[in-house]
Structure 1
Amino acid sequence: MRYWWIILWCVWTIPLIAQRMRVEDFGQYKKSFLRKASFAVDKRFALLDLITNEKGFEFSVGGMIVEVAEGDGLVTLALPHKCDFLTIKHPVYGQYTWKTPEALKRKKHYQAYLYTESLEKEYRQEKQWVLLTVRPERAIVYLDSVMHQIQNGQLSLYLPIGKHACRIESPFYKPLSDTIELTDSARLEKRFILESFYAYLTVETDLTDARILLDGKPIGSVRAETGRLRPGRYRLTIEKGDWTYYERLVEIANAERKVIDLRGVALRPSRRGEPLPEQVSLLSDSSLVTEVVSEEGKTSTPVLRGDTTQASVVSDVHITAFDAETEIWLNRELVGRGEWRGELAPGFYSVSSRKEGLESRTDFFWVEAGKMVELNLISPKADYGLLNVTCDEIDAAIFLNGLAVGFTPCVLRNLPIDRTYRIRLVKGRKEVERVIHLRGNDIVNLNLKLK
């Protein structure tokens, strides 16, 4: 009978232990556009980077121990060709068998995040949403060397908190490299606009049947528009019959849309091959060259530079505590109980609350010049949970128990546990609603579909 209890204990306990490790966010390193690969490959093995800050793991495939190379915040495994199962053991977190999303192949390099959960540790938010808006809309985004292709100019990803290397590439545009940093406070929204490698030229004239040539090649008649041009100097010629009416060097800058308008300009012709009479240079006469137009199609205008010194503008700030007895601490100084109103100069501030010897988590907020700030502080005594809300569309309005709290995708923080919440998402004429019960020391993932 005792052996049966041992067997039953193993059946119930081993799966519970296994759930304390998980592998997510699997991806393959891709070679960047027109660049050498920044990652290593092996002719015999499939390489896998498991990103984790924990130590003491043992990895095996089919009972055979896997060779491991430890790095800063990750371990690199050399796995056999077409590996599809990996066993992970740890003295604290137990054993976990991971089925790979695809068979891992030699000469390839992959990455994934290895998450661990301990019941003795306070839950910490490990991931956050990032919403990228990119122009051109069909650019390719590399985040930590993993490729993501965009179709409609927007990309939303749920990534581990911290810094991530970002590179955006598209044919005929300059690559853009940046570093984005995610925090647990709010989703990150960032906009990237790539600069075009190419320029454009438009030439207009009143001469009927005239030929317009660029470096000796015909580009049109009367009105000509070029395709993409590389920045540089070109010889622009206008001919009609045996006569040359115009011939000048035109300088075109990177990403410039230059328009040369010769309508109404008196051009004195000469026989082809003979020098032209004196004419005004197009490069110095702004009356003949129209304004440069940006890639977005908007005409640039001169900027008047005056005194940029601004007088300091304070902002009204209203902070409300959980109840009338709760202390409000601003930048680690006690400023009131229950409620505080005042004026603050632009900048970052920290705020927390205290009651009966307990202190809430410290939050940070930004004061913008001339804009009022409203803050509602959490109770210093309640236990809190997190709610990760996402749906099939970006920027759907989120209502929590009838109150607007943000837009999808985002993580709602500091929600008291053991309560029921009504979540409603709305975008245009579509909406969806769900009632959930929030548990503590964890994050609840809520993925809904608008109807």
Structure 2
Amino acid sequence: MWIVNKLLWLLLLWGGFAVNLYAQQMEVKDFRKLSRPWLGKRTYSIDKKSATLDFFTEEEGFTFLADAKIPVEPQAGEGCITLLLPHKTRFVQVNHPKHGTLVWKVPKKYLKRKKHYQAVLQVCSADEEFRLKEQWVVFRISPRNAMVRVDSTLVSTRNGEASFYLPLGKHPYKVESPFYRAVEDSFSLDETARKVIELELQPVYSYLTVSAPWEEAEILVDGNRIGSGEATSGRLMAGNHRVEVIHDSGLACCRYVSLGEVEKKHVVFVAKDFSVPDRKVIFAAEENRIADSIPSDSAVVSSVVPVDDSVRLAAPVRIMTPAPDISILLNREVIGTGEWQGELPFGDYALQTRKDSLESTVTWLSVRDNRMKEINLAVPQIAYGMLNIQSNVTDAEVWVNEEKKGYTPCIVKYLPAGIRCKVTLRKYGYKEVSEYIIPPKNNIMDITIRLKKK
């Protein structure tokens, strides 16, 4: 009889050893309870009658028992299994047909209803080598404000660096920044080590220097004033650019200049460039004696008049705006509101609308014959700029003029250019910091705001 009892004990011990051996193939790690931010909204779901537990795992085929006796139906998600467990569950039994059974004791006593928990359910088979499924790739880029797109994810670099945690294999990417040549390529990730990609984008911007024959003459490139007399533009992309020289409040000369990539070009205007074909002209700034001969309705719009008044070199023009309270600008001078009709001498004219400190883009009018000209102008618009906001703290709330725009690091678009705005960063545990910024016109500005702990 004692031999039979001894055999039974041996069988029980072997069964317990086998269960523990299987249990070693599964492990629960990184258990935590989700908590709501202080004075913030809950960002996770809860169940009023049950405790919610997320197991992160890539395996399938699990079954679960609460306190080793109550079956629990798992809700499968992408890389996650969600369990609704009874209140005060102390143990969770995990069963798998291949990896065996694991009885996991809940840390800190038990699971409570209306609470949400998370943990990693790690599976390791004794006859299979553990392999990584994801790997880090780090981009180090110059210039520091570049945008990086990997697969379909687009991020802005933070201090010239961007990191991605991606599945192993091949991934396409594109790196771009204003005024720099974009780089498109691909990389492959393996489980040996993270991949570091260092890129220095090649600049493609150009500069244009313009010299006028008069020091007081205003110089504009693509409708933007760059100076007077002689001036150099800011960064320009390759292509055609419109260059204008305005003298004595009149459009004196206009031409298109072609720029190549990384080119610095110097354009010099001389006095003869400002003459009108087939007629003799003089400039009011050079001879005041013609002031009496200029018609009253054209004196404010042109400083170029014919010497021989017997020759009619003018055309009837009608200029209309979308609303009666919108001002009409001709060569930057206000000539009427809502609608203007009169005669203009032959020449080229810059037309715009203005209302409440806003102006439309320039509409060009060329008067070359005596036929009637009718122009419909656009509504005044706001020029926009962008802010690339970064901080020493990630995920800090970004507020612009008391409107939430996102979390650091982020790019805020469509901000009125030239108008001061208030940028505020907020994060629990840190002092709130605000700065006043003036966004640039049609460009991006890098802003770094440092937060300090309370």
- Short-chain TM bin: 0.3 to 0.5
**TM-score (structure 2 length as normaliser):** 0.35
Normalising by structure 1, what TM-score?
0.35
